[in-house]
A and B are shown apart, each in its own frame.
Chain A
C-alpha cells in the first residue's frame, strides 16, 4: 500500500475515446503531480497542483486536461489522444510543492492508445 492509489491500472483506448485517470491520496499532502513515463525516457512532469491550485503546466497538449477538486483527489481527463501518448502515467503527492519533501508515487496507469 503506497498511500497513493491510481485507477485504472491498465487502459486501452482508441484515438476518438474520452477517458479519465484517477488518483487519490490520504496522506494529508497538499501537492499532487502527474508524470508521464515513456519507454527509455526519464520521467516528465506534466502538471502540479498545490492546495488545489494548478501551479505548473509543463507545455502539455490540451488533449490532456487535469482536474483537482480537492487536495486528496486528482484526475487526468483524456480525449482524442495519439498513439505516441501511450505511456505509464504516474501520480504523486508531497507535503507541499515548494519545499523539499519526499514524493509518494502511485503504481501508475499503463495507457495504450490504439
Chain B
C-alpha cells in the first residue's frame, strides 16, 4: 500500500464544472505538494502547503493535518486543465518526497 493515496484515479468533467481531487497519506509530514503534469511530461509545482488553505487563480488547495488529508479544487474547469495531478508529501523524518500515483483529469468542452 502506497503511503500516499489519491482519488479518483481518473476523472472526466464537462467544461465549467467544479472539480475535487483528494490525497490521503499515512505518515507525519512537514509539507504537501500538488503538482501538474501535462501530456508532454513536464511537471509544474502548483502548491506547497503545511496547513490551512492556499489559492492561486481557479485553483484551491486545502490540507487537514489531523485527518492526514488534502484536497485540490479547480473552479470553472477548462479543457486546458486536462492533465495528471500529483500529490507528494515530505515526511517529517526525512528529506525525500513520496508521490501518489496521480489523478488523470480530462475536461471536455
Contact = CB atoms under 8 A, between A and B. Distances in A.
B45 A56 contact: no
Nearest to B87: A42
Interface in A1-43: 2, 37, 40-43
A18 to B, nearest CB: 24
B27 interface: no
A103 B41 contact: no
Interface in A44-97: 45, 48, 55-56, 58, 88, 90, 92, 97
A32 to B, nearest CB: 13
A107 B97 contact: no
Q: Is the interface of A mostly helix, strand, loop or mixed?
A: loop
Interface residues of B, number: 25
B99 A105 contact: no
A105 B43 contact: yes
Interface string A99-111: 0111111111010
Interface of B: 2, 4, 30-31, 33, 35, 40-45, 48, 50, 86, 88, 90, 95-102
Given A102-B48, A103-B33, A110-B41, 5 more contacts: A40-B101, A56-B96, A97-B95, A105-B42, A108-B43
Interface of A: 2, 37, 40-43, 45, 48, 55-56, 58, 88, 90, 92, 97-98, 100-108, 110
